[in-house]
Structure 1
Amino acid sequence: MWIKSLAIMIIALLCLLVPWGCAPSLRQNEVESRGSLVRFVYVNPKAQSVCVSGSFNHWSDESHCLRRDGSTWSLVLSLPEGRYTYGFVIDGNTWEADPGATLSEGDGFGKTNSVLTVE
């Protein structure tokens, strides 16, 4: 009889621990799903390369390069909620603010950055 009681207690404890053990992975998935997919688009038929550089990638001018489809360049990134400034680096040396952006601001060094808010 005591074996049956012990088995019931073990099963009850396992039922209590299983959901608790899964909770961290559920929370992690929730964190990973925050933010939004952002599509950067730039049209330039003469460009050989187009990369996006901004506050979201520590202003790297080659880590997030767009892919070409005809004269249109595009890239989709998943960004967490926040306010970002960015621009396009054309052919590795020419800075251009996003002509499709609705907001822009000076960078304090004579160039213009586009502004993106992800909600």
Structure 2
Amino acid sequence: MEMELTLPGKLFRRDCRPAGPARPEAKSTIKLLQWNIERGYQLAGIIEELRAIDADILSLQEVDVGCERSGSVDTGVAIAEALQLNYVFLSEFEELHSPLRDARTQAGKR
């Protein structure tokens, strides 16, 4: 299946939660995590840390979608699938491939 790349200003949503009822109890407090995940270079470790923190809402920066520098993985979807989350993504800009950069410093592929 070809990855759907998001254009700037286009909202992308994927619900990776299992079917069934939502969390059973209402909470009086919400745990919010904000984290720059540095393009998801250490994706397995990021997922494990997010699992351990168990926040109610994750606000992640530098989420790569199909970028060469991060192995062409959609890091946001990978996190949502691993943690069974409802995932919403809004692209701020589109970066393009440059022959002047090495693989780790590349941006998006179009």
TM-score (norm 1): 0.25
* Higher RCO (CA < 8 A, seq sep 6+): 2
Q: Which has the larger radius of gyration?
A: 1
TM-score (norm 2): 0.26
Structure number having the greater strand percentage: 1
